[in-house]
Amino acid sequence: MELTPRTAAEPPGPQPTRRRNPVVYVVLALVLLGLGVVVYQALTTASLYFLNADEAVAQRDDLGDQRFRLQGTVVGAPEPDGEGEVAFTVAYNGESVAVVHEGDPPELFQAGIPVVLEGHWLPGADVYVSDRIIVKHSEEYEADHEDRIQDAEGEGTATTGSSTP
């Protein structure tokens, strides 16, 4: 058995540098840019102001055409124009706002109910343009039809594996 150390064929020298592919850096930059855009959009659209009609009128110049939520009670009968828009007025604390809603209003939408609208002021006019209506509903159905609620609670549960005619 031989115990003498071996000699290297070539003396150790500087190792060749490994060059990274520039495509990797471009892809990484695009991913970071996309992530930044998503975070920016989430932070800017998540903060939607909520104002009563009187506050919105008082802050109209400051709001400009910025989106915000407007709360008020529908005054008078809403008037559809036949082209997918509905004109109506909302009021809160003695101040009223003319509204034009783009699209179909919800089924519960009618005069005298409180609503929350999402939209913005129309530039150069005292009109609020809405694209979403959120209707606050009451518990009148439960009070008026308590027998139906009790029937639904008692008989409205399904049992597995059986069906009744």
How high is the pLDDT of residue 20?
Answer: 78
| Dist CA 92 CA 89 (whole Å) | 10
pTM of the model: 0.57
72 Cβ neighbours under 8 A, 6+ residues apart:
52, 53, 90, 91, 92, 96, 97, 114, 115, 117
CATH architecture type of domain 49-135: Beta Barrel (2.40)
Residue range 145-162: mean pLDDT, rounded:
53
**What stretch of H or E contains 32?**
helix 22-45
Contact 86, 79 (CB under 8 A): yes
Q: Is 49 left (phi over 0), alpha (psi -120 to 50) or beta?
A: beta
Tell me the pLDDT tens digit for each residue of 101-148: 998 888 888 888 899 999 999 988 889 999 999 886 665 555 565 666
